[in-house]
Structure 1
Amino acid sequence: MALSEHEQRLLDQLEQQLHADDPKFAHSMASSTPRSMSTRRIVLGSLVTVAGLAVLLLGITNQFIPVGVVGFLIMGAGVYYATTKSKLSGSAPGGGKDTKTASASRGNGFLSSLEEKWDERKRDQP
């Protein structure tokens, strides 16, 4: 379900206010962060895990414990690789200082208007 234009504007204003109030948190919660799960890492990690499972089973069937332990470690490494996020460094999304100060001044008025609307709703209720 798509948002209406009014809802989209409100969401954009809330996002700008969040960036102005706590830029570190906003950056960590951004959906387009470079540190995200990639299909390539999942596939490669899964293949390494399957290879480790094969080595583990080989060690068990031949009753050679060191080979089984190595297979288990390979499986663990594959799962770890598949579940960790890539550490690519990219440019952070966002604007310069001018946009932050402008959004902060608009955001304060926006929050004030939301508080006023909330107070009006509470007064209207019996």
Structure 2
Amino acid sequence: MPLSEHEQRMLDQIEQALYAEDPKFANTVRQTNPVVHYKRWIIKASIGFVVGICVLMGGMILQQPVVGALGFIIMLACALLGLSGWRKGAGGAQGAAAAAAGPKQARKEKPGMMHRFEERWRRRQEGDG
């Protein structure tokens, strides 16, 4: 159930008061958000990916296949970690929104071909034809 405008304004005022009174605590609470954690994970994976590219290029320049292979492995691992963090961060936000909207609302928001197939199947099972 979404918040009314009045409730949203009250929540914003409480949040601003918390930041004004104790910014360290507010920062700590904000950092416990899983999305913030996954964003950091993505940033670290991106930096690691760039390092992997540098190691790979260094191996090519020095004509050391082992160093080049190590760079490729670093790139691959960082790409997988970054994609995993991106999926979890986006999935966590979407999952929370769907849970807040309720099961009927979450079902209506599902776009695409599979949704149409599921809807047809449900109508057939109900006998609507």
Question: Which TM bucket (shorter chain)?
Answer: 0.3 to 0.5
RCO comparison, higher one (Cα < 8 Å, 6+): 1
Larger Rg: 1
Larger helix proportion of the pair: 2
